Structure 1
Amino acid sequence: MATVLDILTFLGIAILSVPTLSLNKRKKKLQQASDILERATKRNTDDAFNQLIEEVQEARGALAGQWRRVDEICLFVGYFLLLGSSLLRVFV
């Protein structure tokens, strides 16, 4: 029984890591894009181009921080597995 509970705990933790790692990956991509756009801004003095770059940065920032349905599912499943395994440890 202890092995099953350990497996449930492991799965809960692994599933909970999905939203965190996903958000981290999106934020890294956003930072790379921001760095590229910043270098392009320094090379170009055209106001329309700079305004476009700012709009792209804002749009990408909004997309990177959005909460996705899969993140919510992973949180519920992960917490359910951790809670279930801990309750079984207490009452079994």
Structure 2
Amino acid sequence: MDTEAVRTFVRASELGQLGHAADELGVTQQAVSKRIAALERVLGVRLFTRTARGVELTLDGQAFLPHARNIVTGVDRAVTAVRPDSRALRIDVL
């Protein structure tokens, strides 16, 4: 499962519009649509219903959202844990 697709799903669900999610993520709206479509194919369910005002979560989307948030949080924590600039400074005194 592509974690960027999961991140895209979370932002789109929070913002309710694929265009706003694209702007925040620094990608095109087409890229957002493709990521979500790929995620829907992997999961085998529809996550959003497209409306005139944007997107709304389906029941499956509502069920997946809390788990998707946990995935994004876990990935962010894992990346932070291995970044050298995020580690505490260690000074040895002789």
TM-score calculated relative to the size of structure 1 = 0.31
| Higher relative contact order (Cα pairs below 8 Å, separated by 6+ residues) | 1
When you count helix as a share of all residues, which structure comes out higher?
1
- For the pair shown, the structure with the greater C-alpha radius of gyration is 1
When you count strand as a share of all residues, which structure comes out higher?
2
